[in-house]
Amino acid sequence: MTGNGTTGILAWGVYLPYWRLQRSAIGATLGGPSGRGTRAVASYDEDTTTMGVEAARRTLAALGGSPPDDLYFATPAPAYLDKTNATAVHAALDLPEWTGAYDLLGSVRSSAAALRAAHAQSAAGGTRGLAVLADLRTGLAGGAEERDSGDGAAAFVFGPDGAEAPVVAELVAHAAASAEFLDRWRSPGDADSKVWEERFGQEVYVPLVEAAAAEAFKRAGIVAADIDHLALAGLHMRAVQAVGRSLGTRPEAVVADWASTVGNLGAAQAGMLLADALDRAAPGALIAVVVVADGADVFVFRTTDALPTVQADRVSRGVAMVAADAAAGRDDLPYARFLTWRDELRREPPRRPDPERPGAPATWRVTPWKWGFTASDCRACGFRHLPPSRVCLRCRTIDEMDPVRMADVTGRVATFTVDHLAYSPSPPVVGAVVDFDGGGRYRCEMTDVDPDRLAIGTRVEMAFRVLSTAKGVHNYFWKARPVAAPPANDVGEDRGGDA
Amino acid sequence: MSSNGIRDQVAIVGMGCTPFGERWDKGVNDLLLDAAKDTIASAGVTLDDIDAFWLGTMASGVSGVALSKPLKIDYKPVSRLENFCATGSEAFRNACYAVASGAYDLAMAIGVEKLKDSGFSGLTGVRPVGDGTDAALSSPAAFSFVAPAYAHRYGVDADEMKQVMSRIAWKNHRNGALNPRAQFRKEVPLETITKSPLVAGDLGVFDCSGVSDGSAAAIICRAEDAHRYTDHPLYVKALSFVAGPGGGASDPDYDYTTFPEVVRSAEDAYRQAGIIDPRAQLAMAEVHDCFTPTELVLMEDLGFSERGLGWKDVMAGVFDRDGELPVNPDGGLKSFGHPIGASGLRMLFECWLQLRNEAPPERQVATVGPGRNLGLTHNLGGAPGECVSFVSIVGPEPSA
């Protein structure tokens, strides 16, 4: 280890889904006033686990050195209870068995806990901690929750400074304020949250945030006006806006919240804003992350001299900046389809058998394939098999295979079809035969795709998705999706006053 | 590979076939009994005369008891087989070998499928508990890869390709219209076929075979005993069955314009039967037209057309009922229907009628005559790149 002894953020990544819902589509369908702009929408085959995987993949893609020692997955909208969801993220990332994987479930405030845990673990033990924050925000049709929320995920790796991966932002202080009061709540199993009168929450929240911020700034040895980027996250938007004016920070320091394009990401909001700040911050900048949820958590980060190099490296690898991702997305999602995806509209099922639940032992036996998308290469002739095979298709050599992970390998569409007969929660199914760069062919489903714009030769990448859900079992596997045109990475018009 | 064949060692001496279609009125047991009854009557024997049975069904019954119980078979060997959509042919093949071995004097191969009771559209099947990683594509989708691949490779433009596919469906409907056992018994205008709603890829509803119920059966004996049962037996000239390594979906070299399994089984069958020029030597062929592009590619894989020219032969009417080589004169899977376990035997049933000049005059093919009287059946199961293929050749005379 050649680092400088500090610990902090080594890598960051955000995932925003492909789809955007025009808020005007809600009013146009239901009648009544229409909101402006769009919100990010998880597709029918996404959940917090798959979005968390995508954010973590983006984070780990640009990270050198060893894999994380611990993974903390925070979401208020878990795919499973009782069963750990972080282990699914762990498997899809092909992390080693010795990496711990833990859920922090139920509340938006879990996101602060995940950041705390990932950092504390690395600070105490010199290890690497991966925090994954994901949320899929639901609400009743026509409500503010549905309109103003968004779906997405963010991930961060904390660890000691090192040659393979320098610390880009050191956590210099954290302070919390906790309080028990009814701001918002949801019964387990419900899709919609209840909220108390907004002004009540504002009155309780503002002093709590002010107290936590004052303590954090004190511990960091700074004053509010020193903050360069103020990332304010919370579902209570009035309280969030109020503290933006009352903490004594510079007005232009407030990080834009992307409310008009993405919506409020709930437990992932703090992550998206912190990532946006890291995308753009100069070395030596102070970033305050404030999570307003059942009290407040205030984190103060100081960026390091290593940040510009890492920023440039991300650009050269084609990693989209939050600003570019937030401005992208396909915004012609019909409201009826959105409601169908969220199970808010009962639709006539096709005259096809319901999908089968995958078997636990069969699934477990093929973990490297099903979760890690790991193919096999024949040692004798080099032929690549997807799915992995013990017998070589080309030279028939038996049991002489090397595993090779294909999840991050891109490819091109060799041929494709639009299947109107196969079962899908959102027909039609688009099937494609994919030829991977460097060898290997696989036939799979496609997602996030406009069949009218799909062609032989279209570049694709793999995405971790839910193929189907049967008897409460989510059948996770990989689909191909078109590689988005490289985002321009320029700062959009949508930005607030952030300097 | 060594495949010695049993040319002229066994013969079909009786056949039966129920009407195919949406047989709401008949259960699996009824269909089996109806087909068996017609078949024993055709051979002039009783069920008790038959020494062993082979039942082919994909998913309409398990074990030999699925046949022995409805037919009240008295303590005789009954095998139950499954081999994708070639299940019926597989029952026939195994029965032939059992008789050729000398183990039995008289064997019955019977196939059945009851697809329409499921209440679903398209094919459904029972699968073992899986790991959930198989792509959810339907059969039409799996075969829909063929049409654009073929068009691309041989420079056929998309509209022309659609016309070729439609003409195959039109031809098979036209043939089925004259067949009282067929599921769909009316001609369909080309334009209706071309404009039918899409099911998968370029495949419209009319490019897909019928989902049906039905049963068909054959009785087989040693060739030298054939004339005890009938004056007009059909001799088995060739039986070939291959299963491929199933790697097409993983193989970048596979281009979806051919079924290598079919090529291999055809070569093997032609060798067994001594056929050099199938297009000239065969009087008819019943092929596995599960989807219209399948029939097109089969014309090349079976050696009826030059590579890349099958589409021209289709458009020229070479495979029409009154064409140079009639293909699917009974309507094929397209119009006769496709009850999986029965289809292979249904194909043989058409050979039984046509090669023995028992088809009604309005649909008897003119190609059958002295010096040209062989029929081919081809049965495919699975999907492009991952399939089984069966080819048989039968004829009314022992070879010289």
Q: What is the CATH number of the domain that holds A295?
A: 3.40.47.10
Q: Quick one: closest CA in A to B135, which residue?
A: A444
CB neighbourhood size of A274 (10 A):
29
DSSP code, position B274: T
Tokens, residue B369: 């005559």
A201 and A259 in a single domain? The answer is: yes
Is A461 part of any domain? yes
Is A492 part of any domain? no
Domain CATH number, residue A368: 2.40.50
Best of A417, A430, A437 to disrupt the B interface (most B CBs within 10 Å) is A417
Is A56 part of any domain? yes
A321 and A365 in a single domain? The answer is: no
- Closest Cβ opposite residue B250 in set A420, A441, A477: A441
pLDDT reading at A2 higher than 80: no
- Closest Cβ opposite residue A420 in set B132, B136, B198: B198
Is A402 part of any domain? no
Nearest alpha carbon to residue B152 among A234, A414, A287, A269:
A414
Is A472 part of any domain? yes
Partner residues linked to B111 by β-bridges: B56, B216
Q: Quick one: closest CA in B to A422, which residue?
A: B138
A14 and A93 in a single domain? The answer is: yes
Question: How many domains, chain A?
Answer: 2
Full residue range of the structural domain in which residue A256 is found: 7-341
For the entire predicted model, the pTM comes to 0.94
Best of B120, B121, B123, B138 to disrupt the A interface (most A CBs within 10 Å) is B138
- Closest Cβ opposite residue B132 in set A424, A435, A467: A467
> Which residues of A are less than 8 Å from B119 in CB distance?
351
Which pLDDT score, from 0 to 100, does residue A62 have?
83
Interchain proximity B136–A467, CB inside 8 Å:
yes
pLDDT reading at A455 higher than 50: yes
Percentage of residues in chain B with pLDDT exceeding 90?
93
A455 and A313 in a single domain? The answer is: no
Let me know the angle formed at the C-alpha of A32 by A27 and A37, rounded to the nearest 5 degrees: 35
A145 and A88 in a single domain? The answer is: yes
Q: Quick one: closest CA in B to A369, which residue?
A: B133
DSSP code, position B318: T
Question: Rounded distance, CA A34 to CA B203, Å?
Answer: 41
* Tens digits of residue pLDDT in A344-379: 998 888 777 788 889 999 999 999 999 999 999 999
pLDDT reading at B124 higher than 90: no
pLDDT reading at B135 higher than 80: no
Q: Quick one: closest CA in A to B138, which residue?
A: A422
A202 and A175 in a single domain? The answer is: yes
- Closest Cβ opposite residue A366 in set B122, B133, B199: B133
> What is the average pLDDT across A140-145?
93
DSSP code, position B327: B
A16 and A145 in a single domain? The answer is: yes
If DSSP codes are grouped into helix, strand and coil, which group holds residue A2?
coil
Interchain proximity B198–A350, CB inside 8 Å:
no
> What is the average pLDDT across A223-227?
98
Q: What is the mean pLDDT of chain B?
A: 96
A482 CA: distance to closest CA in chain B (Å): 18
Interchain proximity A362–B247, CB inside 8 Å:
no
Listing DSSP states for B28-60 in one string gives HHHHHHHHHHHHHHHHT--GGG--EEEEE-SSS
Question: Rounded distance, CA A287 to CA A266, Å?
Answer: 20
What's the residue count for chain B?
400
A147 and A189 in a single domain? The answer is: yes
As a whole number of Å, the end-to-end CA separation of chain B is 27
Listing DSSP states for A435-495 in one string gives EETTS-EEEEEE-S--GGG--TT-EEEEEEEEEEEETTEEEEEEEEEEPPPPP--PPPTT-
Is A419 part of any domain? yes
Is A265 part of any domain? yes
If DSSP codes are grouped into helix, strand and coil, which group holds residue A188?
coil
Query: What is the band of A1 on the pLDDT scale with cuts at 50, 70, 90?
Result: very low
A204 and A299 in a single domain? The answer is: yes
- Closest Cβ opposite residue B201 in set A358, A417, A456: A417
> Which residues of A are less than 8 Å from B116 in CB distance?
none
Which pLDDT score, from 0 to 100, does residue A352 have?
78
Which pLDDT score, from 0 to 100, does residue B330 have?
98
Percentage of residues in chain A with pLDDT exceeding 70?
96
**H-helix or E-strand containing A156?**
strand A152-160
> Which residues of B are less than 8 Å from A350 in CB distance?
121
Q: Quick one: closest CA in B to A466, which residue?
A: B132
> What is the average pLDDT across B274-297?
98
> What is the average pLDDT across B196-214?
96
Least confident of A492-496, B163-167, B256-260, B289-293: A492-496
Q: Looking at the annotation, which residues of B are catalytic?
A: 85, 338
Interchain proximity A362–B135, CB inside 8 Å:
no
pLDDT reading at A494 higher than 60: no
Interchain proximity A439–B119, CB inside 8 Å:
no
If DSSP codes are grouped into helix, strand and coil, which group holds residue B266?
helix
Contacts of A232 by beta carbon, 8 Å cutoff, 6+ apart? A240, A243, A244, A254, A255, A257, A273, A290, A292
pLDDT reading at B1 higher than 60: no
A98 and A197 in a single domain? The answer is: yes
Let me know the angle formed at the C-alpha of B276 by B272 and B277, rounded to the nearest 5 degrees: 130
Question: Rounded distance, CA A147 to CA A339, Å?
Answer: 12
A322 and A365 in a single domain? The answer is: no
The interface pTM score, or ipTM, of the predicted complex is: 0.92
Is A87 part of any domain? yes
Domains in chain B, start-ordered, CATH in brackets?
10-117+213-231 (3.40.47.10), 139-196+235-395 (3.40.47.10)
B44 and A CB contact within 8 Å: no
A331 and A424 in a single domain? The answer is: no
- Closest Cβ opposite residue B200 in set A356, A421, A476: A421
pLDDT reading at A191 higher than 70: yes
As a whole number of Å, the end-to-end CA separation of chain A is 36
Interchain proximity B140–A421, CB inside 8 Å:
yes
Residues 118-157 of B with CB under 8 A from A: 118-122, 124, 127, 129-133, 135-138, 140-141, 144-145, 148-149, 152
